Structure formats: structure tokens, C-alpha cells
Structure 1
């Protein structure tokens, strides 16, 4: 991977994050009584939306963000709160959400949630030397492999509270984030079992979700009705493949995702604004033109870490298009429609993870 030389505009992204975004979630975005991040703030950044639930995944993402920010005290609080509110001591694993009173609300065992618990606890444990958090990452990983097991090396996206019945079909997105989590856990613990698990999983993903003509990873298993190709996820997989290296095994994903990057860039990018569309069909037609901020950040990171200098040269111009459209003095714009209108005005507590991981990939 080529070294990234931050441009002034790239450095400005991180300055905005540290000065504007992080304080939102230390202040108005944090419920001091429950010691949990609220789900979202309004566009002003001053008021929370009505608190109907709190998700374990949101708490975990904030744990990761503040770990990278070096805020040990806030991280210790989030780690303890994560275990206090969301750990299912009766059946094992983690509840999806709790209600406004802090009691379990949705008790589904969600793979996406479990992946982010591994991801955040590994990062937190490594950053501050918290062996208990590394143990949580290892134990949750072992539970995932044992209890979420599905066919052909894959994992169920969701199960009921006792892990007895599948609650949804197979999905690529939680598998992608589990790869991300295991990459962090491998680095944090030095345990090669994570590397073996990554290889096994990416090979299974390639067998089931790879759209061979484009190299894209589809949202559903190939052949399923209503499938779609999300440009943002192609850019995200492209980054993960660069991190995984030899751990991609016999998946063929390095070559495939190189083609997927080109396909997503050609068909999923608005040439006028640089906005990344939410979804394409298998021919490259836009089927959801919504421009979500996370897809824009994944594109920035993929550009910055691309092996070709001609692609990396696109970073500064893309930042110049991204920043004024999606960053504000109060925080950010979560979604715009194809015409550029704000399609979602609130600011979810999960989005700082997307911003920060992109900026770290850029090198700021």
C-alpha cells in the first residue's frame, strides 16, 4: 500500500472532525444518566431526537471512535456500559438494543452487532492495554463462529435470542464488517486464529456473493431476487482487501475488487457532484440515487489507498467536492438525494465511525 501524503484539504477534514464532530458526542449526544450515546442529534447538533432505543452497535462504534481519539475515561465508561446494558448473561452474546429505560428491547442476536463488539473491544483493548476488552473480543469471536454458523462457511445474519432460529437470510454486509473486526483483532492480539478465520470467511463470501461479470460483492447471495450492488460497499471491500493481503486466500477478491472499483466509479458516481449513489443493478443502472455520507467516505478512503498514482491524484479534487456538500459548521449532512436536497437531516451517532475510519485511511 502506498504511503499517503495528507493534502491541506485532507488535513481540514480531520480538523473538522476533532473540532466539530467529536464534541457532539461528549456533550449533547451523550446520555449521562444511562451512560450511552443517543441514537441521533438534530441538524443543529444541539438537541437529541426522541430516545426510543439505544443500540449495542452504536455504543461499540463510539467506543472505537473515542479509543482512536485517546479519550480513556470516556472509553472506560462506554466499555462498562456496553457490557452492563447489552450482554445477555442468560444465553450468551449481545442484545441488539435496549429501550429508553435501559432494559432489553430487541433481543435479536445480530451478526452485525456482534462484529462491531469484536471490532471496538479489540481496538479499545489495544489502545489502552485493557486485557479484559481483548478477552471480550476473543470470546465474542468464538461465539460467532460457534453459534452463527450457516452453510458453506457462511454465518447467519441474525438469530433469535437463544440462537435457535434464523431471523433473516444471508447478507454480505455483516460478513464484511466481521472481516474488518477480525483484521483489527488480529493486529490487537497477535492471534493467528483470526487470520485463518478471515481466509475461510472471504473465500465463502466470494463463492456466494461475488458477481463475476463486474467483480462486485452483491448484497444478497447471487441468484436471490431483489439483489443489488452498492458502490459504497465495493469501495469498502476494496480497502479491506488491501488490508487483508495474503489472508484473501483463494478467494480471487484482489483481482475482482480491482474491477469492482472501476465499475462502481464508472456507474455509481454522479459526474457533476462526485456523489456516490446508494445502489446499482447488475448492469450498472442506478436503482437508488440517494447519496449517503458513509458511501462518500468509503470512496475517499479507496481512492487514497489505491495502487495507481493516477487514481490517488483524484483524492484532493474529490475532497473538494465532498466537504462542502456533506460537512457543516454543526456537523454533517447524512444523506442527499440525486438533486442535492437534504434527504435526512439528523446526525446518527454511528456516522463518526465512518468519518474517522476514512480519515485514518487517508492518513490524517
Structure 2
């Protein structure tokens, strides 16, 4: 029965994506090559004039490219090609890296380097290559050039990357997580340098298991000193439930590809921490922040951790059997219910981003950056349910 309920929840999320969200964000959240993607759209459906973070554009390119791969019948081609053109024209620097912030008129306001933004540039390149065979060689070359430039300019002496040159502290696990995600996509992409990207995926996985994950309690930290020890003070104690789930999903995928039992065990532990300590007992949603004793430091619930809860639960269900699989399926169903709270808006296809401790939402425009999380979760759930079906007919 639980599996049937999860399947029904997946079908409704997929319907919402195809019929509500993708059409709305194509029509209201994209202004073509001249304007790129809006940072936010009001709950009434109007794009705002808010300054646009660099990360929004490659994330939206990814969304529409992946929608195209999955068979969405709307116009996904224009946002992919024109969106990437806008991103290149406005944010790309002479160094080959991307700046951080522009206004709605396409004026670059902040040229500072952020490792996080470069990770999403790579992700957009690999997904553009998937839907544009004629640009495959170009995108493969651009991803390789980006990786080489990152290593030349920002490589950490041990592994991973510094945040600036000279190094700016604290160092962060989060951009490495998104580089890991992009690298896993590149290593599997036709025409890309599989050897280099596989080695890089292995480097980040090892760094995560050796440094980011606490050796005693198994939780993943966010902030570090230059030697990858936990950053000083309370900041170094932060463990976000959403990132326990997101790293669990990535390590599970990497561990499955490599046959690495340690990675799978650590993924399960990360998930356990997120589910046991990061889900509010009354609101039934994943909260924002824990400390390393697993006490809640910030009870605010944002949309994106709910999507990572779905992805990790669904992927771990595929990698499990029997009662363990049933537990992950039940958790995925609970995560779908949590996400649905944020998607319940007067105009279908939008979302709310922040739920307060009393269960009410902060009234604000919907951030475009959340679409990447939502769409990825919906497609990952579809894929995992299909894998469960094909594996055994799934009696759970």
C-alpha cells in the first residue's frame, strides 16, 4: 500500500511539473537572450526586477534541458540555448570563470569568484550537450577547460578547492557537493573526458568521506579551516539536514557505480541523521540547521531540503531490500507530503520557500533557484520507482 501511495504522489508531482510549473516558468520566468531568467516570480505570477545571481541561469538551463530529455512537449529548446547565451554574455569573465551578480538589464554588478557558481556552469554545459548533439564537442571542451582552470588557480594542497586565491576562510563543503554532482554527470556523458571526470568524482568522494563527514558521529559538516579541520566556533559545528540528505544521495550514486561499500554505509548514516534529527515532529518537514550534537539550531524549514529528502530516500530504497526498503519508501512518501506543503500556492506552478516554526509561510516571491531542486527530485523519484518496478515487481 505504501508503494502505491508513493507512486500516486510521484504521478501528481510529475503532472504538476509538466502542466503547471514548466509552462509557467517558461512563460513568466524567462525573458529570452536579452534578459535571461528572472531571479524570482511573485505569487501572482509576475517576474520581479530583483538582481540575478549567476547560479540561477545555469540551474534553469539544466531544468529545461532535462525536461527536454524527459519528453516535455513545451518549448524547452529556447530557454536552454538563449539562457546559456545570456549567462555567457553577462557573467563570463576573461578568466573563463563566471561573476556572481547582475541586474535585470544584464549589467554585471559583482565579478567576484564563487566556486559554487562554477559548479553550476559545468552542470549546464553537460546538460546542454545532452540535448544539443551539435554542441557536444564544445561543451565537453568547456567542462574540461573549467576543471583545468579550477585546478590551476584554486586547488587545495590536499584535495578539492579553496574558496579564493589567496584562500578565503572558511572553506566549504557545499560547492564541492555541486561539483561532485556535475562531475558524476560529466563522467557518464558521451564525448566527455570520462577518465578525468571519473578521477575527479573519486577525489571529491574521498574528500567527503575523509574530511567533510565527522569520523565519530557520521554527520556532514559545512565549514572548515584551511587544513579541512572543522572551522572554529559554532560555525564549524553546523550540520544541515538538507545536506545530509543531498550528500547521501550523491554518495549512494557514486558508491553504487564504484561498488564501494564504505560510501553506501556513510550514505545510510547521513540519511539516518537527517531523518532522525532533522525532521520537525509537529510540522513533518526538514528543518534548516543542526549542530554537531544533533540539536536544532534553526527550526526554519526551507523548500529545498524536502526535495533532497525525497531523492535520498528514493535512491536508498533502490539499494535496499525487504523491511529496509519499505522504511525508505515510507520516508520518501513523507518527504513528498512535506514538499507538497510548499507547492500549495494560489497560482499552480509556483512555490513557497520558507516555513516558520508555527507552520506559516513567509510571504515572498518564489525563487527560481528552487526549480533545480524540485525538478531533480521529481525525476529522481520517477527513475527510482521505475527501477523498483523492474527489479522485482516491488512487494512492499
Question: CA offsets per residue over residues 310-351 of structure 1, 9 Å max, x none?
Answer: 223313344234314443242111110121111352211111
User: Structure 1: 5+ residue runs without aligned partners?
Assistant: none
Select which of 59, 65, 73 maps to 2:78: 73
Select which of 223, 227, 247 maps to 2:230: 223
Aligned 8 A contact 2:92 2:99 in 1: yes
Q: Give the 3 Å change call, closer, same or farther, for CA 253–16 of structure 1 in structure 2.
A: same
Select which of 355, 358, 376 maps to 1:357: 376
Instruction: Give 1:81-96 correspondences, 5 Å limit.
Output: 81-89=86-94, 91-96=95-100
SS at match of 2:22: helix
Select which of 189, 192, 195 maps to 1:192: 195
How much does 1:250 deviate? 8.3
Counterparts of 1:54 and 1:320 in 2: how far apart (Å)? 30
Q: Which has the higher helix share?
A: 2
Instruction: Give 1:298-337 correspondences, 5 Å limit.
Output: 298-306=308-316, 307=320, 308-314=324-330, 315-330=332-347, 331-337=350-356
Counterparts of 1:356 and 1:102 in 2: how far apart (Å)? 26
User: Structure 2: 5+ residue runs without aligned partners?
Assistant: 69-75, 384-396
Counterparts of 2:294 and 2:34 in 1: how far apart (Å)? 45
Q: Give the 3 Å change call, closer, same or farther, for CA 34–109 of structure 1 in structure 2.
A: same
Aligned 8 A contact 1:154 1:205 in 2: no
Select which of 270, 280, 285 maps to 1:275: 285
Counterparts of 1:248 and 1:24 in 2: how far apart (Å)? 39
Q: Give the 3 Å change call, closer, same or farther, for CA 142–247 of structure 1 in structure 2.
A: farther
Q: Give the 3 Å change call, closer, same or farther, for CA 236–108 of structure 1 in structure 2.
A: same
Aligned 8 A contact 2:245 2:271 in 1: yes
- More displaced stretch, 345-354 vs 196-205: 196-205
Q: Which residue of 1 aligns with 2:296?
A: 286
Instruction: Give 1:151-190 correspondences, 5 Å limit.
Output: 151-157=157-163, 159=164, 164-188=165-189, 189=192
Q: Which residue of 1 aligns with 2:390?
A: none
Q: Which residue of 1 aligns with 2:102?
A: 98
Aligned 8 A contact 1:9 1:319 in 2: yes
Instruction: Give 1:11-30 correspondences, 5 Å limit.
Output: 11-30=11-30
Question: CA offsets per residue over residues 35-82 of structure 1, 9 Å max, x none?
Answer: 3111111122x223333x222211000000000121222211112222
Aligned 8 A contact 1:85 1:104 in 2: yes
SS at match of 2:109: strand
Counterparts of 2:30 and 2:256 in 1: how far apart (Å)? 40
Aligned 8 A contact 1:30 1:36 in 2: yes
Q: Give the 3 Å change call, closer, same or farther, for CA 247–154 of structure 1 in structure 2.
A: farther
Counterparts of 1:301 and 1:247 in 2: how far apart (Å)? 17
Aligned 8 A contact 2:187 2:197 in 1: yes
Counterparts of 1:199 and 1:205 in 2: how far apart (Å)? 10
How much does 1:213 deviate? 2.6
How much does 1:208 deviate? 2.4
Q: Would you say 1:348 and 2:353 are equivalent positions?
A: no
How much does 1:279 deviate? 0.7
Counterparts of 2:126 and 2:362 in 1: how far apart (Å)? 34
Counterparts of 2:270 and 2:168 in 1: how far apart (Å)? 30
Instruction: Give 1:143-154 correspondences, 5 Å limit.
Output: 143-154=149-160
Counterparts of 1:273 and 1:109 in 2: how far apart (Å)? 38
Q: Which residue of 1 aligns with 2:276?
A: 266
Q: Give the 3 Å change call, closer, same or farther, for CA 283–245 of structure 1 in structure 2.
A: same
Aligned 8 A contact 2:6 2:329 in 1: no
**Number of matched pairs:** 354
Select which of 229, 242, 246 maps to 2:252: 242
RMSD (Å) for aligned C-alpha atoms = 2.4
Q: Which has the higher strand share?
A: 1
Counterparts of 2:34 and 2:110 in 1: how far apart (Å)? 17
